Structure 1
């Protein structure tokens, strides 16, 4: 009984000891048997309540005036020692020297590595892990740092709630080639398969970042890949960077998630995790909603329609004013023509003599005038008759 009692606990300890490495060494994928929906079965933290990435709804963020601009430390001081670029089967990774760090946080964080996430459909088909108002970018860059004030290395820090700080940069497609990203993308053909590494010339890491480091979103989350430890202080920059379509195509089509000796080659694509629930977490912003508001497609459509209606209304008003001016101008011209056709007395009424008043003649005067006319007529008849004294005898 004693030997049996000792044997059973030893067996349980042995099973527990072997189970932990099995979970850590499980080869996970984004799709398939150990895809995103199954991660929590093998990595319990992936089912936690503070997972990343998230969808940032700008109208629901909380402005925090105490959030200062993030400060890259030593990003430009790359030195002469080359960087190591490698394909780990999930993404492309660059190890960063320990003199690089990130300021503007409660503790000093030392840089550890950076990596990329992307899609497979080209521009405007998604590929970023974080989204803004439901809209994804074409790719996303993560620069990972660990809390070097409290923990000696990243392995220990990543298991602590305040252990990591990740800088997230959204990438979209533009017309010009991004020379800074060319320092990475131009060497992808040398690490096409998983577990391949190559040394590349050191370059200015800060050139990968946007110019505006003062506007960003901040929240507490997790690693976006297994083991999904909820130990990350996320800083998602508001301003985006651009790469060319050719650079995005190279990122989406050159790498394989399979090893060189594998018979079946699998392209390394769509290596982004779906957004996770916030679960009452707060997303803070370092800027006001008015100064950095992202417009949805519906809002843009409403603005365009409003501008068009405003233009139409303005055109109608202008047309009415022009017609009114023409009407009064024509009316004025007609008035001048009518006035010019009148006499000078109408034009200068003050110089026109007043008309003489006309009155009826009195009846007496009228009768006297008639009598005088009759008398004159009779006198004329008498003068025409011959005088008797003037008659001659026979």
Structure 2
């Protein structure tokens, strides 16, 4: 080992204990000397057994019928006071007013801030912190709240169990759009002002806006589990709600996240792009992830699967129509065949038997000629005798 290498080791040996003694002053990163693989050395809770984010394996989630839709409180009542947007060197943070909150949980939670996580557009296509069935989204939005029923402020709540509630919104780029097309105006309320905070420690006021426009439309289908902050000090105090529905943005909007901000300050000579600011998924360690919907109803279909189902249904309907038409024709055929058989079987009988109602009344039968002659003789004889009897006798 050369002298330069030895001096580097001595420097690290001297500085590391000092860093451990004052963790708040450590400048942690997602990669490098104090990257996420070294977080637990400086921030012990980052090595805990209930860390976030996690990979949600949908077949291993447990349906919980008691999980009701979450209710944003005051998200749309942004008022006239501007929001504060700032670059903390790790992400873009938007401070939220205290009248915003979250219902539908065991306690009332008050909003504090929201921030974003994204990738770098590289071949890994990562960006989100949580994954579902091993697949990551392009980015992820976190809306952070503290338990205002049990604790007076964020600082007091963040170290306690169930002290925080965070909404996780997975963000994906919609495919097939033309360059420059915007698909989510809500996110432009943030992305259009990133150029004002390009360097770490910079902040700016931005117009207030409806925060609910950043959320998915379906707030009733989500995954719930107990976890931690995804950045140091990684306190295990978060009740996570990860929505099943993804929010869509355009490629142009994602590029603004990935390319506009720096993790370095304006004074630093070497500028470092703020990219890949997402933590790797952590082990569940026997934790249970609950789902507010059953596995069958919660299955999300891809556009190809939806198209295949539609085509299948149409083909099924056509096939059913053909079968019904065939059956009807078959029934008609056998009916006609039966009628023809009846006509053939009755052809040997008289037409009067078939149409008996039209048969004329029978004529009276005539008597035989011999009997008539006898009757005529008898009449003549009786007449002759009568004449003889009635004739007067004459004297000789």
Global fold match (TM > 0.5): yes
**TM-score, normalised by the number of residues in structure 1:** 0.71
Could you say which residue in structure 2 is the equivalent of 1:136?
A: 136
Could you say which residue in structure 1 is the equivalent of 2:240?
A: 234
Quickly say closer, same or farther: Cα 1:36–1:307, change in 2 above 3 A.
Answer: same
Aligned 1:25-36 pairs, distance under 5 A:
25-36=25-36
Distance 1:208 1:305 in 2: 30
Note the aligned Cα RMSD (angstroms).
3.5
Distance 2:109 2:208 in 1: 21
User: Where does structure 1 differ by over 3 angstroms across 4 or more consecutive aligned residues?
Assistant: 17-21, 293-297, 303-312
Alpha-carbon deviations, 1:25-45, whole Å to 9, x = none?
110000000001000000000
Quickly say closer, same or farther: Cα 1:310–1:195, change in 2 above 3 A.
Answer: closer
Contact 2:19 2:25 survives alignment (8 Å) = no
Could you say which residue in structure 2 is the equivalent of 1:286?
A: 292
Could you say which residue in structure 2 is the equivalent of 1:214?
A: 220
Quickly say closer, same or farther: Cα 1:308–1:228, change in 2 above 3 A.
Answer: same
Could you say which residue in structure 1 is the equivalent of 2:279?
A: 273
Distance 1:30 1:311 in 2: 50
Could you say which residue in structure 2 is the equivalent of 1:328?
A: none
- CA shift, 1:18, in A, is 7.3
Distance 1:306 1:253 in 2: 39
- CA shift, 1:217, in A, is 0.2
Contact 1:123 1:173 survives alignment (8 Å) = no
Contact 2:19 2:26 survives alignment (8 Å) = no
Aligned 1:1-394 pairs, distance under 5 A:
22-121=22-121, 125-174=125-174, 175=177, 176-291=182-297, 293-294=298-299
Contact 1:133 1:294 survives alignment (8 Å) = no
Quickly say closer, same or farther: Cα 1:310–1:71, change in 2 above 3 A.
Answer: closer
- CA shift, 1:122, in A, is 6.5
Q: Tell me, which stretches of 5 or more residues in structure 1 are unaligned?
A: 1-16, 316-394
- CA shift, 1:177, in A, is 2.6
Distance 1:222 1:237 in 2: 17
Contact 1:61 1:284 survives alignment (8 Å) = yes
Classify the secondary structure of the residue corresponding to 2:248.
strand
Contact 1:221 1:230 survives alignment (8 Å) = yes
Distance 2:301 2:121 in 1: 22
- CA shift, 1:296, in A, is 9.4
Classify the secondary structure of the residue corresponding to 2:22.
helix
Distance 2:213 2:301 in 1: 29
Contact 1:133 1:296 survives alignment (8 Å) = no
Contact 1:193 1:257 survives alignment (8 Å) = yes
Distance 2:186 2:232 in 1: 29
How many residues of Structure 1 are paired with residues of Structure 2 in the alignment?
318
